[in-house]
Structure 1
Amino acid sequence: MANSLRGEVLALYKNLLYLGRDYPKGAEYFKRRLKTVFLKNKDVKDPEKIKELIARGEFVMKELEALYFLRKYRAMKQRYYSDTQN
């Protein structure tokens, strides 16, 4: 069981690191923050607590995806519609 949780944590870290490439404050900023958060929780041994942290990380992933989608939507909207239209 510990190995499966370890795999989930590693996959979450890799996915967040990948998503952080386009972070508005910069990839290096995101990478530092991500590393800090993961190192802060490295000593957690309780499987239930680890699952909670994984769920929180997945929520952050979804929020980042929504942020990027919204940014892309706004950029496309600016290209195709002028600001004078109501």
Structure 2
Amino acid sequence: MTVPAPLRSRAIRLYKELLFLGRDYPHPQRFPWFRARLKRAFQGKASLTDPVEIEKALAHGDYGKREIEVFVF
């Protein structure tokens, strides 16, 4: 079973948005540390094919994005 195109594009957009927010992440190693963690998180979910599970993962990522926005800005 393949991933529907709208879900795939949402996941890519979420990844890019999180990557953009990670530039200002307040950690001693900053962006390289954040990018490695983000990549590992997305690779861990790469095998999902069920649209419901993908929606849950995207919702979790959106929540994380809001938390980072509050924390950074």
Instruction: Tell me the TM-score normalized by structure 1.
Output: 0.77
Alignment-derived partner of residue 5 in structure 1: 7
Identity of aligned residues (%): 38
Structure 1 runs, 4 residues or longer, greater than 2 Å off: none
* Structure number with bigger Rg: 1
SS in 1 for 2:12: helix
Instruction: Report the AA paired with residue 41 of structure 1.
Output: K
Gaps of 5+ in 2: none
Alignment-derived partner of residue 61 in structure 1: 65
Q: Identify which of structures 1 and 2 has the higher relative contact order when contacts are C-alpha pairs closer than 8 Å and 6+ apart.
A: 2
The superposition leaves residues 31-78 of structure 1 with CA deviations (integer Å, 9 ceiling, x where unpaired) of 000000000110000000000000000000000110123xxxxxxxxx
Q: Aligned Cα RMSD in Å? A: 1.0
Once the 2 structures are TM-superposed, how far is the Cα of residue 20 of structure 1 from its aligned partner?
0.3
Alignment-derived partner of residue 35 in structure 2: 31
